[in-house]
Structure 1
Amino acid sequence: MQYIENRTYDEISVGDTATLVRDLGAKDIELFAVMSGDVNPAHVDTEFAKSDMFHKVIAHGMWGGSLISAVLGTELPGPGTIYLKQSLSFLKPVGLGDRVTVRVTVKEKIDEAHRLILACDCTNQKGEVVIDGEAEVIAPTEKVRRPRVLLPEVHLHETGEQYRQLLAATHDLDPIPTAVVHPCDTLSLIGALESAKEGLIIPYLIGPTAKILAAAKEANRELGSVKIIDVPHSHAAARKAVDMVRDGTVMALMKGKLHTDEIMEAVVDREFGLKTERRISHVFVLDVPHYPKPLFITDAAINIYPDLNDKRDIIQNAIELAHALGIDMPKVAVLSAIETVYPKINSTVDAAALCKMADRGQITGGLLDGPLAFDNAISKSAAEAKGITSAVAGDADILVVPDLEAGNMVAKQLIYLAGAESAGIVLGARVPIILTSRADGTLSRLASSALAQLFAHHLLQVKP
């Protein structure tokens, strides 16, 4: 066990010194900005910093000052020290990757009230003094030796960062013509208009013109040259949207203010719909705090109790979406309650069969493993504790759930308890379907549109 121990006033002599060495990383700057609220772009905006006087991101000046405080409070004099004064001169900037050595040296002892005057300086790896100053403290008179407290591990997550990267990946792509089905409320209309503004889609607004215009007025949005296709109601809007896919006018569908069943009924119509040989399924793409990459969950919206063949198609759909996002060999975790095959739990048997199907080329383009419990799929430490040796466990890209109930619960728990942002699309039809929820914000709607745009362009590349 490590201990923290002070030096009392009587134990300290003039000339005594203590040091601390710290390398400046991006996380240090981000943590200090979060703690202090100082978001000066010189510290947190890379593009701005390039044009600033130092031409690089630099640390907050008081980051170095806080290191001096750390030495005084933990080393010399240590626990029990009372800070009275501190003067600092900031002589040079500290940039990312710099190694800072902090040194405090006792200059003077003042017996009255057991005060100390200490010289304080910070130097970089070149030996240059970056901060210089002097501190006055009251030194402790009683000995303190305590176990060193272990600090919690801090994970920084910028909400929506994964989605901003997703949007950035679409910048060089042409927007895709998209049938927006019954956008007769402000949320769905704004989602379509913002997606158009970002260059993701070219919207065709299908629905009762009066209702669409009323929604635009309520949202205080101008429709400009956006094309409106007038139909009497939501069922007609769904049928018209499907027709526009079949005649080649649009490359994607977007759900507006109507029930999912309404739009999907038109999509799966045997004679006039958009079915392919592949089972239609939904894929959530979640931006989860503390998970280092987008997390796919399928199927949590379309297939209630999929059988083995359905699950094969569900997996293949998700793998193809991962390919469209630039993930060459996505890691697919087939979930169950346990990580061993147990005949009384059907999902474990399905998981084992799906992995063997992948071995035999019936599922391609991804790396499968299962059955895996949720913790083993996303946590390396949990997988190691269970003795699981797997390239997928602890690093999954895609989570394949046993049924819709399980998938819906997993996705909603991540959204509402873990703070995940959600986006998602329906695949397996002729074109991707942007299936948003009433609870989705604008960023989630944009991310869903970006998924559809990337997937539609991917289809153009892979079609013979």
Structure 2
Amino acid sequence: MSTPPRRIADIIARAAAPDPVPTAIVHPCDAHALGGALEAARAGLILPVLVGPEIKIRAAAEEAGLDITPFELVAVEHSHAAADEACRLVRAGRVAAVMKGSLHTDELLAAVVNADSGLRTDRRMSHVFIFEVPDYPRLLLVSDAAINIAPDLATKKDIVQNAIDCALALGIEAPGVAVLAAVETVHPAMPATIDAAALSKMAQRGQIVGATVDGPLAFDNAISPDAKAAKHIVSEVAGRADVLIAPDIEAGNMLAKQLTYFSGALSAGIVVGARVPIVLTSRADDEATRLASCAAALLLARHKRLKPPQ
């Protein structure tokens, strides 16, 4: 495994503890899913509870040469049942996080958002990417690039609050949140700028808490002090954003993939806003990404336990 960059490595180091988080691994029926879970267990991040068809899980472990005997295995018939069972384990207090295995993301999230048996809260769920970007002096969080397709203002409020909670859990003090648009001024023909201005005002009035929120901001003046100065922008967030809020899933997804493929950024990612953090892994993820995602989920789970009621 390649050595993770410093700030991602710091997250993994902060998360490792004598009390790893019991985590439901949903349908871990291939070497990637099992290997990622066991690597996180060896790092002291999670205590895996393997949920899925027993024959398939044991076959995958044998084929990959992985020892799963130390871990609990909850046998169910198929992937749908595994997703449902993982939600039941959360509601029963048996696990404090969920990690996607070798099933489709939509299948897992369908169980999570079920109104009767899922993991919904009074807040909309959203995905948060956590990036280690070369030459950027801090972690950079991007949301939402994976779940909410065309969020309205109420959904964007939850997306912002979820991202702030994630930033705080990662140890980012007083995070700066930039709500992105194509320009940094409110334009009546560009709804993203109107939503951004509204979110900024909502933060000022205490409807969003824990961070300084500003928008609309274009990408350049959100992250570049030179762009901020050139455009004479007066803002506590511009030029030093910790969190970037995309106007829709297309913009967020393209931004996240550009950071990965053009900038060589290392990423982690979790779903926030459910009863527990959810780790969405991909077959393309390397071990460092899987570890960082599990570490972020662990830190968020701890943050949720320690956070005083509002």
Q: TM-score by structure 1 length?
A: 0.65
Instruction: Measure the CA separation in 2 of the matches of 1:162 and 1:233.
Output: 38
For residue 227 of structure 1, the aligned residue among 59, 65, 72 is: 72
Q: CA deviation at 1:159?
A: 5.1
Whether 1:393 aligns to 2:238 is: yes
For residue 201 of structure 1, the aligned residue among 35, 46, 50 is: 46
Q: Which residues of 2 match residues 13-412 of structure 1 at below 5 A? A: 160-172=5-17, 174-412=19-257
Q: CA deviation at 1:174?
A: 1.6
Q: CA deviation at 1:218?
A: 2.4
> 1:160·1:443 contact (CA, 8 Å) conserved in 2?
no
- Cα–Cα, structure 1 residues 401 and 177, in superposed 2: closer, same or farther, change >3 Å? same
> 2:17·2:44 contact (CA, 8 Å) conserved in 1?
no
Instruction: Measure the CA separation in 1 of the matches of 2:37 and 2:74.
Output: 15
Which structure features the higher share of strand residues? 1
- Cα–Cα, structure 1 residues 431 and 463, in superposed 2: closer, same or farther, change >3 Å? farther
Instruction: Measure the CA separation in 1 of the matches of 2:57 and 2:41.
Output: 16
What amino acid is aligned across from residue 189 of structure 1 in structure 2?
L
Aligned-partner SS, 1:273: coil
Q: CA deviation at 1:274?
A: 0.8
Instruction: Measure the CA separation in 2 of the matches of 1:171 and 1:247.
Output: 25
State percent identity of aligned pairs.
Answer: 58
What amino acid is aligned across from residue 319 of structure 1 in structure 2?
I
| Number of aligned residue pairs | 307
- Cα–Cα, structure 1 residues 159 and 241, in superposed 2: closer, same or farther, change >3 Å? closer
Q: CA deviation at 1:463?
A: 4.7
Instruction: Measure the CA separation in 1 of the matches of 2:72 and 2:16.
Output: 23
**Unmatched runs of 5 consecutive residues or more in structure 2:** none
1:383-432: CA deviation from partner (whole Å, max 9, x where unpaired): 11111121111110000000011000000010011101110100111000
**Unmatched runs of 5 consecutive residues or more in structure 1:** 1-157
Aligned-partner SS, 2:73: strand
Aligned-partner SS, 2:15: coil
Q: CA deviation at 1:258?
A: 0.9
Instruction: Measure the CA separation in 2 of the matches of 1:172 and 1:218.
Output: 30
What amino acid is aligned across from residue 102 of structure 2 in structure 1?
K
Aligned-partner SS, 1:218: helix
Q: CA deviation at 1:257?
A: 0.7
Q: CA deviation at 1:173?
A: 5.6
> 2:46·2:298 contact (CA, 8 Å) conserved in 1?
yes
Match of 1:434 in 2: 279
> 1:335·1:373 contact (CA, 8 Å) conserved in 2?
yes
Which structure features the higher share of helix residues? 2
Instruction: Measure the CA separation in 1 of the matches of 2:308 and 2:41.
Output: 26
Instruction: Measure the CA separation in 2 of the matches of 1:179 and 1:238.
Output: 9
Q: TM-score by structure 2 length?
A: 0.97
What amino acid is aligned across from residue 204 of structure 1 in structure 2?
V
Aligned-partner SS, 2:67: coil
1:306-347: CA deviation from partner (whole Å, max 9, x where unpaired): 000100000001111111111221100000011111111110
Instruction: Measure the CA separation in 1 of the matches of 2:257 and 2:104.
Output: 19
Aligned-partner SS, 1:195: helix
> 2:16·2:295 contact (CA, 8 Å) conserved in 1?
no
Match of 1:422 in 2: 267
Instruction: Measure the CA separation in 1 of the matches of 2:224 and 2:174.
Output: 19
Q: CA deviation at 1:217?
A: 2.0
Instruction: Measure the CA separation in 1 of the matches of 2:111 and 2:72.
Output: 22
What amino acid is aligned across from residue 415 of structure 1 in structure 2?
T
